[in-house]
Chain A
Amino acid sequence: MRYGTASPGALAVRAAESGMPALALTDRDGLYGAVKHAGACGHEGIELILGADLALREVPPRPSRLQPRDRAATGPPRLANETAGRVTLLACGERGRKGWASLCRLVSAVHQSGERGVPAVSPDLVADYAEGLIVLLGPASDVGQAVAARRPDLAVAALARWRDRAETVIEIVDHHGPGDTHNAARMLRFAREAGIPAVLTNAVRYLDSADGPVAQVLDAARQLTPLGPRHLAGRNAQAYLKSTEQMARVAARICGSGSCRGPRACAGRCDDPAHQLLDATAALARRCVLDKARDLGIGTKHLPEVSGEDAFAQLRQRCEEGLLRRGLAHPQAPRAKSRWHPWHGHRENAADRLSRELAIIAKAGLASYFLTVADVASLIRDRGIRCAIRGSGAGSLVNYLIGISGIDPLEHDLIMERFLSEGRKDLPDIDLDVESARRIEAYRAIIERYGEERCGCVSMMETYRARSAIRDTAAALGLPPHEIDVIAKAFGHIRARGIRGALADLPELRASNLAIPQLTSLFRIAERLDGLPRHIAMHPCGIVLSSGTLLDRVPVERSAEGLPLCQYDMDDVEAAGMIKLDVLGVRMQSAMTYALAEIERTRGERVDIDTISPDDEPTFEMIRSGRTLGCFQIESPGQRELVTRLEPRDIGDLIVDISLFRPGPVNSDMITPYLDIKHHRRPACYPHEDLAGPLGETGGVVIFHEQVLRVIDVMTDCGLSYAERLRRQLSDESARATVRQWFCGAALGRGYDDTIVERVWDVLEAFGGFGFCKAHAAAFAIPTYQSAWLKRHYPAAFYAGVLAHDPGMYPKRVITGDARLSGIPVLTVDVNASAGDWQVERVPPPPGAMRDGPGEGLGPGTGRRKALRDRRGEGLRDRRRRGLRDRRGEGLRTGLREVKGISNAEVARIVAGRPYTSLRDFWQRARVSRPVAERLVLVGAFDLLYAGPGRQPTRRDLLARVGVLAGPPAARRDIDQLALDLDGGGGGLAKGGGAGNVGDGFATLVPAGELPELSAAERVEAELEILGIDISEHVISFYEKILGALGVVRARNLHRCRSGASVLVAGVKTSTQTPAVKSGQRIIFATLDDATGPVNLAFFESVQERCAARVFGSWLLLVRGRVRRPGQRSSSGSGQQPGAGGQAGTRGRGGMAGRGSAAGQGGLAVSVNAAECWDLAVLEEIRHSRGIRAVHAAMAAGDVPGKGIAAAAPGAGQPAAGSPAAVSKIVYSTGFTLSPYAETGSSGGAAKDPPRKLWHASPGSSGDWMATGRERAD
């Protein structure tokens, strides 16, 4: 870890090339790469040796005074190196699996002892697991260091400690550094004198000497020091994997250098010891060869034992019980699933299905696996943790019957073979989703149940990516920290090896001036760190379950949470034949739990979200209208557009929706033909009538993996298990030809005619990797529906849950904005009302409740389609008309945790101390820090406390009082005195007393109203800075003037603009995405929020040169672009962008569904193809100081000096020279092209954090008021 620079695979290839019979991997402090190394050696046909390079525990200075030597008596012996050194332990394969087991257990013990993260071994520890282990003492060991320091006395003593406890061998290393050869020769002599064998190694760290600098950077990063001659004294680049001949030369050098005095003298004499050394090395290697099946347990399954009788019988019994419990025991009449799918097929018989599934399970010997997972699921649910299945496992009836899954696969026509098919060798995955907030609790429960000898967490190697590689390299090169920060943050989340490529390709980086020669060296090294392990972390969801011999096969350390952590990653665990159970923390599950608890707390209603009616019309109505912000899976701008076009009416439609909203289907335009058929604009058509069955549910369009299986099965009669195997090969280019041959042959043999077989094959091929596992989508659709249902029926509680657990893609201020638009007031922090998290609070109906909405009255739509109707208008009027649950009595109270810089302890003290009677009371009992108290005052947390008749202190007054309370004791004493006088008079709760001046003794010192109240702008500024949320007013409202002057079109009016019209839009950036799109372009999608709704923007490559840096870097944006309506190809819009989707591949799609003509008629999704953009805050500043004309001038100039990015756009409207034409694209065989920078996210400014300064400093407002307050207080 942070030591070697070569992968096990590369080393094994090189070793095999140079004809080595065996290769050992000795990871530092662990056995992290063991499984990968075993695989690599197996692949290359060389023998496998494994070991661990462990740090020695610092031994207290030995009682050297007892020894008669004078020099030792003068002081404790200090070895050259401050650290206690390192030894290597090899597992010996001679005694069966004992050697490997000892090594695993020793490594686990080493991690268990001492501090976490500082594993250290001692001879005594080795003694406990000595069987089958060989201790290699190299130059870094205590013995080696003593020899190098010419202290044979110490060396002998140190050696004795090892020899007494385990088999010990001396390791000779000569890296050809200064003194190395001498020391190696001395070591060899020492070994000979001590009578123990010596072997030669090269302690390999890298493949080629060219990687030496990378290893040095890793050294520096590990030691947290800059590179310098001091730390690298004598290091060179010789620790590469040398060939056998090179090592023979090393051996000769070591044996020759000590004794001989010239080339002639040593001839014949020195060959001998060198040969002996090499022979001894080979002999040791032979003894240490391990067998990956026998020792590591690769290739067999290690399932947890099931208590009691035969596991399969137990499983069968539980399934039969399940049939009864789920009401499936009797054969049912085929029933159509939904009236919306008239083409839908029949329902399979449950008993038949069960016996088929059980047969497969019996054959694979996996009964105990299913029982284990069922046990885990019930274990989690018994703790009251929400738990849902995800992934293909939902397709299995067995999972449904034994309670792992809540989805009836028959109802949704899911098939098991996608999950587990006959002949599949690896173990199937069952993934469970649990509440994110209680994930660790669930893990603890599982580990407690199964014990650490069977169970642990899967680890995950965090590897170097661009940012981390740059950080570590730059630090090693000694760059100042703030420069490192700037450079690293300029890069998005890209791979390290792409650093220089990105620098050349991405417009926002081209503008950054980072491509300068001084930094080239940095980037070159950083690129070479790509993919190297940086540190080990707990995998976010993996749990390993195994038989009771886990610790014999897997080394285990501790995670930061104290959970046992296997040193293998996901793939290794699977390769080693253990169950990997993904228990994923899902924030939406936590959010829903929170919402349910809020409902119960505020209304006393217990809602069982798992038993709600699956076809609640109001819920689907809300989904169809696109008001799905905050809902699971369907809240993104794209999804909101899709749901309005797809018009889901039941869960089945949601399943389709989730499956369709993926890069493949979106970009190969599977959506339009599907929608046409669904909305009966075109008839469904099938290549052959036999395929009406499998493709019926989607009208002939292939959407699901399950359909592929069925199509293959129908055409070739090969069985679903075999079909699944073929499907897996479809995504592999090289295997596809074989599959094709087989498929066409088999289908022709069944009597289908040539053209039909060809057409079906085209569809299967085009389907490639695009499809989605329907079981997975079905598993997603449940929480999607549940969250939408909550939003529809208990919006306040829903928003509270979403805000408390932040499950989605949007910043919180977008969620609160949505809440406000739905008529739920958002209340600021209040010391007496706020809890730690967001809460639903009963509020009196707002005075303006009879108006259409707060603020401007907006008519609900102007005769346009319903979906277009302004959302705020609908928020109140429609609901009232429909006579639904009255929710105007509920508001959202901001949680204390939202306050910047507040600690958990402070939150706990504040909540525990409620109610407070005054600021002084709060100060004394809640004992928060002064900045937190000031922030609470600024966001109005004390406003209610002092509300009432009479003159109330302003927030500035209160701020001054905080200053007094936190001030020097002398001033405080006076007030204490005053307070005593007044407290007697009658303070009480402010609300109760109603007095503006609560008895806190301040009235005389800082009289209420002494200082002016914060202006509206100042309040919002404070709210944004402290809470990150604009509570009292929308930020954009402060820009109304400039927006009006420039004629900016607001989101709610955008649909009135004709397509192609050039418009200006503005707003707060809420999201930026660069998803994969078909053409391989990198398109930046951004969403602005302008208080009337979202504005969706697309920046194509041709304008990114001008805009990218600003889009990522600014928070408030003004954008000029052309209106695009959904359904029109973007290329027809403005002509500025080379058709994003216009060049859609035609291959294959035509076969089944033909090409869509007109697109679906959507509502909300008018978007803007951006051409130019500006920083709105900067423009407002110009307007304020120089007037609107200057703003126009600045806009015309094409660029205004924003923050930090001053690269003038070359020739407005023209793409700059050297622009992105050269960006290499990843082209898939299906014609799907991908920009290498797709999904890399934004670099720089995150949409979640507003910048410090939002708008111009208006004279006399913010700025110095804080200081004024303090001065007065003092």
Chain B
Amino acid sequence: MSRMYSEPIEVRDQDGRPLRFVWRGRLYTVRGVLEHWVVSREWWQRNNPDTDVPAEREFWRVEASPGKDVPPAVYELRRDVETGDWLLVRVWD
């Protein structure tokens, strides 16, 4: 069962790969990357005619847990390549 959140989070990363993130005041450690993909944004609906770079979003589906003893759950993180902002998209528990 998954739930959508789409809440901004803070992420510590290494070469773009997320290592830890803070969500709702708790620090989560990434245990493993399940999947990682890139999707183009719907550039044709946006009105920023000045950029030539296609807006992309990076998705990371990771296993993470907020502590050593807590069993990991699956989190989907999203990074907007243009702004560098991270979002927690959804969580499987």
Interface band, chain B: 20 to 34
User: Of the candidates A216, A253, A257, A517, which one forms a contact with B40 in the assembled complex, judged by CB atoms under 8 Å apart?
Assistant: A216
Given A209-B54, A210-B54, also A521-B49 (CB < 8 A): yes
Binary B-proximity of A1103-1137 (CB < 8 A = 1, otherwise 0):
00000000000000000000000000000000000
Q: List B11-41 residues whose CB lies under 8 Å from chain A.
A: 17, 31-40
Whether a CB of chain B sits under 8 angstroms from the CB of A180 is: yes
Complex interface residues of chain A between 246 and 283 (CB less than 8 A to chain B) = 253, 257, 260-263, 265
On chain A, the residues within 8 Å of B43 by CB distance are 213
The distance in angstroms between the C-alpha atoms of A518 and B40, with both chains bound, is 21
User: Is A105 an interface residue, CB under 8 A from the partner?
Assistant: no
Asked whether A262 and B39 contact (CB < 8 A) given A476-B44, A517-B49, A521-B44, the answer is no
Q: Is A235 an interface residue (CB 8 A)?
A: yes
Are B40 and A237 within 8 A (Cβ)?
A: yes
Q: How far, in whole Å, are A344 and B40 apart by their CA atoms in the complex? A: 72
Residues of B within 8 A of A478 (CB): 44
Question: In the assembly, what is the distance between CA of A417 and CA of B58, in Å?
Answer: 64
Distance between Cα atoms of A365 and B56 in the complex (Å)? 59
Decide: A236 and B47 in contact? CB cutoff 8 A: no
Q: A235 contacts B40, CB within 8 Å? A: yes
Which residue of chain A has its CB nearest to the CB of B45? A227
Closest residue of B by beta carbon distance from A518: B47
> Which residue from chain B places its CB closest to the CB of A478 in the assembled complex?
B44
A232 at the interface (CB under 8 A from B): yes
CB proximity of A417 to chain B, nearest CB, Å? 50
B contact residues around A521 at 8 Å (CB)? 44, 47, 49
Nearest residue (CB) in A for B34 is: A257
Chain B residues contacting A212 (CB-CB under 8 Å) are 40, 54
Q: Is B42 an interface residue (CB 8 A)?
A: yes
Q: Is A229 an interface residue (CB 8 A)?
A: yes
Q: How far is the CB of B81 from chain A (nearest CB, A)?
A: 10
Give per-residue flags for A157-188: 1 if the beta carbon is below 8 A from chain B beta carbons, else 0. 00000000000000000001111111000000
Whether B37 lies near A210 (C-beta < 8 A) is no
Closest to B49 in A: A520
A236 with B38: CB separation less than 8 A: yes
Q: Which of the residues A178, A263, A524 comes within 8 Å of B59, measured between beta carbons? A: A178
Set B34, B39, B63: member contacting A234, Cβ < 8 A: B39
Tell me if B70 counts as interface (CB < 8 A to partner A).
no
Q: How far is the CA of A253 from the CA of B35 in the complex (A)?
A: 9
User: Are A237's CB and B32's CB within 8 A?
Assistant: no
Contacting residues, chain A, for B52 (C-beta < 8 A): 210, 524
B53 and A210: CB pair below 8 A? Answer: yes
The answer for the CA separation of A236 and B42 in the assembled complex, in Å, is: 10
- Given contacts A179-B37, A524-B49, is CB(A262)–CB(B44) below 8 Å? no
- Whether A1072 is near chain B, meaning CB under 8 Å from some CB there, is no
A236 and B56 contact, CB distance less than 8 A: yes
The answer to whether B36 touches A213, judged by C-beta atoms less than 8 angstroms apart, is no
A478 to B42 CA separation, bound complex (whole angstroms) = 13
Among residues of A, the one whose C-beta sits closest to the C-beta of B30 is A262
B39 contacts A257, CB within 8 Å? no
A421 near B: Cβ within 8 Å? no
- Which listed residue (A180, A232, A262) contacts B31, Cβ 8 A? A262
A181 to B35, CA, bound (A): 7
B residues 50-64 touching A (CB-CB < 8 Å): 52-54, 56, 59, 63
CB <8 Å contact, B38 and A177? yes
Kindly provide the distance from the CB of B36 to the nearest chain A CB, expressed in whole angstroms.
7
Given A178-B59, A517-B47, are A213 and B37 neighbors across the interface (CB < 8 Å)? no
A237 touches B56 (CB 8 A): yes
Q: What residues of chain A lie closer than 8 Å to B36, measured between beta carbons? A: 176, 181, 253, 257
Please give, as numbers and ranges, the residues of chain A lying within 8 Å of B59 by CB-CB distance.
178
Asked whether A227 and B49 contact (CB < 8 A) given A177-B39, A179-B37, A181-B37, the answer is no
Known contacts A210-B54, A213-B54; is-contact A236 B35 (Cβ 8 Å): no
Name 17 A/B residue pairs within 8 A (Cβ), A-sorted. Answer: A176-B37, A178-B39, A178-B59, A180-B37, A210-B54, A213-B40, A235-B39, A235-B40, A236-B37, A236-B40, A237-B54, A253-B36, A257-B34, A260-B32, A261-B31, A521-B49, A524-B52
Additional 5 contacts, C-beta under 8 A, given A176-B36, A177-B39, A517-B47: A176-B38, A179-B35, A210-B53, A232-B40, A520-B49
Identify the A interface with B (CB < 8 A): 176-182, 209-210, 212-213, 216, 227-229, 232, 234-238, 253, 257, 260-263, 265, 476-478, 517-518, 520-521, 524
| Nearest 5 CB-CB pairings of A with B | A262-B32, A520-B49, A261-B32, A521-B49, A176-B38
